[in-house]
Copies of this chain bind each other. A is one copy, B any other.
Amino acid sequence: MEPPEIDYDAMESPSRQIAAWIRSRIESGDIAPGRKIPSETELVQAFGVARTTARRAVALLRDEGWVVTVAGRGSFAAERRPGG
C-alpha cells in the first residue's frame, strides 16, 4: 500500500496523518498482530518528513496501544486492539 501525501494545509498534524495511515493498515489486517510496522527511517523516506515527526507518529500509536516498541528492533502491531 502506498503512503498518502502529507497535507500540510490540513488541520490534522503530519504526525497524526502518518499515525492514521499506519493505524488503518493495522485495522485492515494489512499489518497483522505481531508484525513489524515501518521503521522510523522508512517513514522518513516514504513521507518526506523529519525523523522527529516519524517518531511522534509511532509514539502516538504506542500511547494508544496500537503498537508495541522493542528497543533496537522496531515497533510491532499489538497482539490485541486497544480496548479490544
Contacts and interface: CB of A to CB of B under 8 A. Distances in A.
Interface of A: 9-11, 13, 34-36, 68, 70, 73, 76
Nearest to A31: B9
Contacts of A34: 10-11
Contacts of A36: 9-11
A35 B9 contact: yes
B35 A70 contact: no
The 5 A-B residue pairs with the shortest CB-CB distance, nearest first, are A9-B36, A11-B76, A9-B35, A11-B34, A11-B70
A19 to B, nearest CB: 15
B35 A73 contact: no
Nearest to A14: B73
